[in-house]
Every structure is written in structure tokens, then in C-alpha cells.
Structure 1
Amino acid sequence: MHRATFDHPYPTTKVIWIPDPATHYPDLLATSGDYLRLWRVDSNGQVHPECMLNNNRNSEFCAPLTSFDWNETDPNIVGTSSIDTTCTIWGLETGQVLGKVTGSVRTQLIAHDKEVHDIAFTKLGGGRDVFASVGADGSVRLFDLRNLEHSTILYEDHKQLPLMRLSWNKQDPNYLATFAMESSEVIILDVRVPSVPVSRLCNHRAPVNGIAWAPHSSCHICTAGDDHQALIWDIQPMPKPIEVPILAYAAEGEINQIQWSSSQPDWIAICYRDKLEILRV
């Protein structure tokens, strides 16, 4: 039984609840698409628009947003990625329980040579200032808000294929995963040894669409794709080759998205066609 529905004026590229396990903040939901939008969910389950954030200071329009990430260490920070090659870091005012939540651009930077497809904060360096992005130029780039004059290229696809998504290991921030457009392979990177993947997960038989690290284990990751499969891998043998996943689930359609619950780590959600399925690990 659903709690609430609400209309969104533009197709969404991502949806995230505010990371707030201690319930210090209002119940806020953020979406990306035409703009970064914040929504408040009241005690009756009704959803109300809170604010709409535009990173273009010179126009009421901005380039479409491909993705965003909500900083888990400081929920007043959100980062967005855009087709205009930029990443924008937003400062939110979320502390008021009753007041209107607002946001402003903290910094905007040209992150890639082409479209930026994804952005994700990491717990490296204290968990507040370091993030990575992937883009259509085929690179993974690492940034630190305390020193934006420099960035580190962690990896470049040798065929310069666009990289579509990235995800940081929840327990060991030295590792992250990414995959290229139309690729059936997931690449695991170690930031301590840039440029060379520490492992490649190759058992999908069609393009990968989603990756999600286990919230409670540094050794497990779930991948899903157009082959209808959700696969869970144990990466503990790295750098030895990882030949096969330890668990597999076959859905009834191409899996477009996966999420591994941080509060209930026995559960993984997958989306295919018009369905959402909850899987028990």
C-alpha cells in the first residue's frame, strides 16, 4: 500500500531521502531532472514542494541534471551533475523544523570535458569534502572541496566509452565501482592504485544498469542489468580474479535500478518495467 503520490514536472533522474538516521531534520525528499527539487513529507504523508534550485545565475533555465548525491556526513550539502559538463555543490538550510528550507550554490566547477553522468560523495578525508564524478569523456575524477584547483583522474576507459554511474564502498572508501555505457562489465577501482582496475566483474550477459555496495560489508556488491539478473559478488579475493557471483536472482524484465537498504541490510530493491521488487538476501 503506497503512502503518497505526487506529480513531478519533468522525468526524474534520481530520488534520495535526506540521510538522517537520527531524525534531526524534517522529512525531506530530493529529486533531480530539470532542476534540483526538494519536497517535504508531512505527518499525514502528503508531499509538498519545498524549493526548486537553479544553478544558472543568468537564466531561469538550467541544463538538465543527470544525477545528484546527498552528503551523508553533512546533510546540508548536496552535489549535482549536469549535461553541461559541470558539477554544482549546494549548501542547504535544512535545520529549521518549521521554516522553509532554502539552498544556494556553494561552488560550481567544470568537472569533465563532456557531459557528467554521476556524482557521489565518499567518506575519504572525513566524509564531507571529497567526491567523485564520471562522465561521457570516459573518466573517473576525484575532487576535494577544500582544494578545487586540482582534481585527480582515477581512471580513464581505454576506449573512451562514457562511464554512466559510480558507487563508493560503504565500509572501505578506498574502493569504488563504475561501468561504461552498453557494457556488461563492472569495474572495481582502488584509489590508492589509480588508472588500473583492481577487478572486473564480467558475468552479466547484457549491459549493466545499476550497482550497489552492501551497507554493512566491505566485501559485497550487487550489480544488475539488461540480462534480467541481479548478482551479488564477494570481492574479498581481490586482486585475484573474481570469476562468479555468490548469489543470483532472475527478474522478469531488464533491471534498471537497484538499491541496498542501509537500515535493513537484508533487503535489496530492484526495478524493472513498471515493477518494484524487494529481495531478501
Structure 2
Amino acid sequence: MSLRDSLPRFANNPYYILLVSVATLISVPLTIVLYFESQHNRDLVFTVDPARTIIARAGGPSELKVEFKGDVIKTDVVGVQVSLWNQGKGSIRASDVLTPLEIRLNPPAPILQVSAAKTSRSVIALTLENDAGLLRQGRIPVTFRILERDDGGNIQIIYAGPSDVEISLVGVVEGAGAPRNLRATGWPVREKGPPSRGDRLFTRLFPWFYVLFLFVVPIPAMIKHLRHRGPRSARDVILLLTDCLMFAGAIGILFIVFRWFPYVPTPPFGY
């Protein structure tokens, strides 16, 4: 008697085999996600809005001059928004900051104006130090009283320099290390801002249509071949391998397409 014949009848059912396989594929990543969700860690993150606003361009008409506190600005004047917040479950207090936090522009570009456009709560006391010397170096010291989960703020920066200046948040938080940069990914973000309503709708509906395709085309074909009893012809083997490759290819394409989807990190407290 073979091992397959000794198993209970339901264990040989292809639907049962498929169900066990799907449950296994779901349970492994779900276990990992639940484990990390249970950890009370600190996680200070930041994101730079990819849609920057050019307030004034260099090389305009000679009669047009841009001045700031009496000084003529000969470069572009750009506005950008930086958001920072605590994405972890553990609170971050001022005493947990081992190395002072600073927003830095690289290469250094003089900052003309900086302000906290929005904060999650007033109790966090998010403060931006307006030190003239540091602002000329493209540096903005950032302090706060406490950041609980999803606490943070949006910081509006106007600087004189090219629009592709790299902006980062540096410093060290106990138990979290340096702040993490949540970069925008996927299709290039339009100059007007984040993905359109159509993009978001496509992102939400596409996975469901794709799953429907899997259950209509490759999965039923695989079940049909798995239910086959007796010797298989070369044609049956080729068809089974083709269906398996189609299923694996469909899953692979799904992951690739998801990497193309536009993703712009959004603060939990909004803009």
C-alpha cells in the first residue's frame, strides 16, 4: 500500500491540498507581521514630499529681482515639505535623543524660511530652531517633548538652491538609531503632486481582478490535472507543467506590478 493510499480520503482531495497550500503561504508572512506588530519599538521616520514648488527661477528678466532681507537671491527659490513622525509603538522622549536631530540640505543651501505647518498634537511641542548661522548652512535643529505612536509634524522649508537638493534628517534615537527615510517609489510623481484619483482606484481594484483571474484560469486547470488518476501521458504532464508555470508567472508578475505602483508615504496626521 502506498503512502497516498494510506491517507484519509479527504487528504487526497485536490481542493484540500490546495487549501492547505494557500493556508501555509498566508500563515508564514502573517506570523512574521504579527510578531513585529507585537514589538514596542521606537521608529522615527521622515519623508520628503517629491512635489517641490519653484517659487522663483534664476535667470529671469533682468528687471526682476528676488531679495531676502536686503540680499539679492541669484538662484532658484524652492519650497518643500518634510514630514517626520514616530511609526513605532514605543514613545520617543526628548531624553531618548542621543544625538541632536537636524534637517540637512546636501549640498548645503541657505534656508530662507522654515516653519511647522502642522503637528499631530500641540502637546508634543515640536520646535524648529531658527539659528541664522545654521540656516545659512542648510541645517535646521529639531526638538520635541515627546512623540508617541503616529505623533509628528509637517515642516515647510523655503530655500535658495536647485530643486534636486537632497534633504535628510540626521541624529540618533536610543533603541531606534538614525531616522529612516520613507522614499516615494513607483511611477515618477507628477509635478502637480501625489498620484491621481485614477491611480489610487487602479491600485485598489487591480489586485482583486488579478486574484479573480487566478481562480478562473490557472487554479482550476491545476485542480483538474491533480484529480487525474492513473498514468499520465506526455501531453498531460506538459499541460500540468504549463499550468504550474502560468500560476508561478502570474504571482511573479503581481509582485513586479506592485513595485511599479506609485507609493508616496503619507503622514498619519495628514498634510
Q: What TM bracket, shorter-length normalisation? A: under 0.3
**Which structure has the higher relative contact order (CA within 8 Å, separation 6+)?**
2
User: Structure 1 or 2: larger helix share?
Assistant: 2
Structure that is richer in strand per residue: 1
TM-score by length of 1: 0.19
Between structure 1 and structure 2, the one with the greater Rg is 2
